[in-house]
Structure 1
């Protein structure tokens, strides 16, 4: 689980424009990525990681949610 958090934290450290590259244009895959982003944020809040890391995960989650909406709007 720590590996998943680390992967999302690294992605969250990227700018919003770069983070877009992590998201697929495929609706099903985008939802899968969004589920992992939610889980990473939940794990971070439960384990008490730093506030800045939690904020980065929130920004990444919003980016993923926006991309998922675009991918699934068809």
Structure 2
């Protein structure tokens, strides 16, 4: 999975973070990498813990929590 988070307000306005990794959706907790990106997050590194709270196999709807831990310069 590849996903970009875009900040639109405050100190990080205009900066982005890209996460990358395997996302086995049937696992309760997954971990993906922060591979850096733009603005204040250039050369950033870190990880994301993804937790699924609700997953409906019929509709494929889900409630998912993302906790992002980032080290940037």
The TM-score, its normalising length taken from structure 1, stands at: 0.27
Q: Hey, which of these two has a bigger chunk of helix by percent?
A: 1
Name the larger-Rg structure.
2
**What TM-score results when the alignment is normalised by the length of structure 2?**
0.28
Q: Point out which structure has higher relative CO (alpha carbons under 8 A, 6+ apart).
A: 1
